[in-house]
Structure 1
Amino acid sequence: MSELFNFFIEPFQLELMRRALYAAIIIAIVCALFSCFLVLKGWSLIGDAISHAVLPGIAVAYLIGIPFIVGAFISGIFCSFATGFIKNNSRIKEDTVMGILFSGMFAIGIIMVTKIHTNIHLSHILFGNILGITQNEFIFTVVISIIISAVILLKLKDFILFCFDATQAKVVGLPVTFLHYLLLSMLSLTIVTTLQAAGIVLVIAMLISPGITAFLLTKRFELMLIIAVLVSVTASVIGTIISYHLDADTGPSIVIVQAIIFVLAYILSLILRAKKPQHA
């Protein structure tokens, strides 16, 4: 029993592991909340798109000497707003527009990063370095995550109605266009805030896996939010512990745990569906 206890406690005797765990939990909570809305709205791909589209902004920010997060945020906002504009002014479907935009912007970003000889490492952008998160980066991540989570919870009913039925939301007087772009703006801010610590791969997983997993287990949106947060936080804790004992990268370890939890949830949903009585 003591060996099992030490297995879970040993990693967090180190300051960098404790800070990494706290950062992972904060990121897990805010991304899990967003994940439910992305799944409900059918926007799962847009988190992927924005995550990749920030790369040109990071490169430009380096060139003109401004903070990376400013360039990344502007680039992410451009991608999300451009998607909406093209979709509303053409016959092209939204997922197709996102695929074109994010792949094009990501390709441009790769060329810029490799040709202008920046100190930006693609591996850090892709996989992050949550163990190397500084105190200032940690504080910034916490503050922005709290603000975004507070806005989501304060406007929860409006966001739910907008995601379920935008037409009905407009009929009852909600500012649908404002809510649309508010969600996209907060999503962009969430991604660029967590990118330094988590990397593109982990951010994408955290914006998709918890919501999909919770969607398999419940039909109530409020319960879906709770399950998504629990799944995301659990995966972050277990993934951090596993990464320590295997001497592996923390981000990919968390992603693997999330994937395993999703598979287990899928199997459980099939079992529960099979046990339901069949109506004639």
Structure 2
Amino acid sequence: MVRALATALIASVVCAVLSCWLVLIGWSLMGDAVSHAVLPGVVLAYIVGAPFALGAVVFGFLAVALIGAVRDTSRVKEDAAIGIVFTTLFALGLVLISITPSQTDLNHIIFGNLLGVSVGDLVQVVVLGAVVLIVLLTKRRDFTLYAFDPTHAHAIGLNPRVLGAVLLGLLALTAVVALQAVGVILVVAMLIIPGATAYLLTDRFSRMLLIAPAMSAVCAVVGLYLSYYLDTASGGMIVLAQGTAFALAYLFGPRHGLLGSRIAARRRRAALDRGRASATPSTTTRGQAGASDT
């Protein structure tokens, strides 16, 4: 349980920080594609005895290259190319799992096995999570400028293609980190929901980088403990907690929430009406005073 809690916290924080840029750039579907496309790379890495991260990064970049090739050399649009490539690679991973003899259940790669995390798995999660966070925080200004205005980033000497490639590489590594917690299928939720939730709660990107990991960490603890007491899937409960947090932000967010914005607008109208009502008597009094003087 202690190892599960540590893994869940690390995976949730790393995914949440990266999700801020994915949501800002509009790479939510790309995050879905890369997180599923790394499955055959992870299985092949297991077969040859290589680190999971190596196979994930290779197939993550392969997926991006294939998406670009299909988009640029055919009439197929980018969203369709993403769907074709990631579903095909994901299916390849499923086939490899089904034919690979293993003493361990490789289906845990798909659905996660948070309560079965070993010490070695935890060390891998810590190392990869630290690498991703260090790169993201060190280059956060460059990544943020790339997200807002790639043209301006190029004008001041940055290479947008390199920055995009680095983000995709970090996305592949983050997918490996989250595999231990929730599996391939639910990785995309951890890569999108925290950033989207923070996006509804603030208009400043610096605050997003604080709100998203804090919310994600709280949901990891709550989801893990609920799964323990309710005897349910731990990864699913963590993502369900994040989805609940997003629903609350969507409904009651102070500025961009569905109900919160309406309540704020109603309060502004009420305050404006009170201001007009208080100004009307004074105007009438001045008019009566002027008439009496005349």
Identity %: 44
Q: Which of 157, 160, 165 pairs up with 1:181?
A: 165
Q: Which of 225, 228, 239 pairs up with 1:244?
A: 228
Q: Could you say what secondary structure the match of 1:262 adopts? A: helix
How far off its partner does 1:201 sit?
3.0
Q: Could you say what secondary structure the match of 1:174 adopts? A: coil
CA contact (8 A) 2:60 2:168 kept: no
How far off its partner does 1:97 sit?
1.7
- Distance between the aligned counterparts of 1:126 and 1:264, measured in 2? 28
- Distance between the aligned counterparts of 1:96 and 1:164, measured in 2? 25
How far off its partner does 1:144 sit?
1.5
Q: Which of 195, 201, 204 pairs up with 1:217?
A: 201
CA contact (8 A) 2:4 2:114 kept: yes
- Distance between the aligned counterparts of 2:52 and 2:137, measured in 1? 28
- Distance between the aligned counterparts of 1:229 and 1:106, measured in 2? 28
The residue that corresponds to 2:155 in the other structure is 171
CA contact (8 A) 2:113 2:182 kept: yes
Q: Which of 119, 122, 147 pairs up with 1:135?
A: 119
Deviation per residue, 1:153-191 (Å, 9 max, x gap): 111111011011111211222111110100001111111
How far off its partner does 1:85 sit?
4.4
- Distance between the aligned counterparts of 1:115 and 1:195, measured in 2? 20
- Distance between the aligned counterparts of 1:202 and 1:106, measured in 2? 13
For structure 2, list consecutive stretches of 5 or more residues without a partner in the other structure: 273-294
Residue 34 of structure 1 aligns with an amino acid whose one-letter code is L
How far off its partner does 1:19 sit?
1.5
Q: Which of 154, 159, 162 pairs up with 2:146?
A: 162
Q: Which of 221, 234, 250 pairs up with 2:218?
A: 234
How far off its partner does 1:86 sit?
4.0
Q: Could you say what secondary structure the match of 2:158 adopts? A: coil
CA contact (8 A) 2:7 2:180 kept: no
Q: Which of 29, 40, 51 pairs up with 1:56?
A: 40
How far off its partner does 1:146 sit?
1.3
2:256 is equivalent to residue 272 of structure 1 = no
| Structure 1 vs Structure 2 CA RMSD | 2.1
- Distance between the aligned counterparts of 1:91 and 1:37, measured in 2? 29
Q: Which of 126, 135, 147 pairs up with 1:151?
A: 135
Q: Could you say what secondary structure the match of 2:157 adopts? A: coil
The residue that corresponds to 1:207 in the other structure is 191
CA contact (8 A) 2:40 2:92 kept: yes
The residue that corresponds to 2:283 in the other structure is none
The residue that corresponds to 2:281 in the other structure is none
How far off its partner does 1:90 sit?
5.1
In structure 2, the CA distance between the partners of 1:29 and 1:63, relative to structure 1 (3 Å rule), is closer
- Distance between the aligned counterparts of 2:44 and 2:247, measured in 1? 40
Q: Which of 104, 110, 116 pairs up with 2:94?
A: 110
Hey, which bits of structure 1, 4+ residues long, moved more than 6 A? none
CA contact (8 A) 1:201 1:252 kept: no
CA contact (8 A) 2:23 2:196 kept: yes
TM-score scaled by length of structure 2: 0.83
Residue 112 of structure 2 aligns with an amino acid whose one-letter code is G
- Distance between the aligned counterparts of 2:108 and 2:124, measured in 1? 18
Residue 272 of structure 1 aligns with an amino acid whose one-letter code is G
For structure 1, list consecutive stretches of 5 or more residues without a partner in the other structure: 1-16
How far off its partner does 1:152 sit?
0.7
- Distance between the aligned counterparts of 1:70 and 1:129, measured in 2? 21
How far off its partner does 1:196 sit?
3.0
2:27 is equivalent to residue 43 of structure 1 = yes
CA contact (8 A) 1:56 1:75 kept: yes
How far off its partner does 1:206 sit?
0.8
Q: Which of 33, 48, 57 pairs up with 1:73?
A: 57
2:175 is equivalent to residue 191 of structure 1 = yes
Number of matched residues?
Answer: 263
Greater Cα radius of gyration, structure 1 or 2: 2
How far off its partner does 1:65 sit?
4.0
- Distance between the aligned counterparts of 1:120 and 1:107, measured in 2? 20
In structure 2, the CA distance between the partners of 1:200 and 1:169, relative to structure 1 (3 Å rule), is same
Q: Could you say what secondary structure the match of 2:203 adopts? A: coil
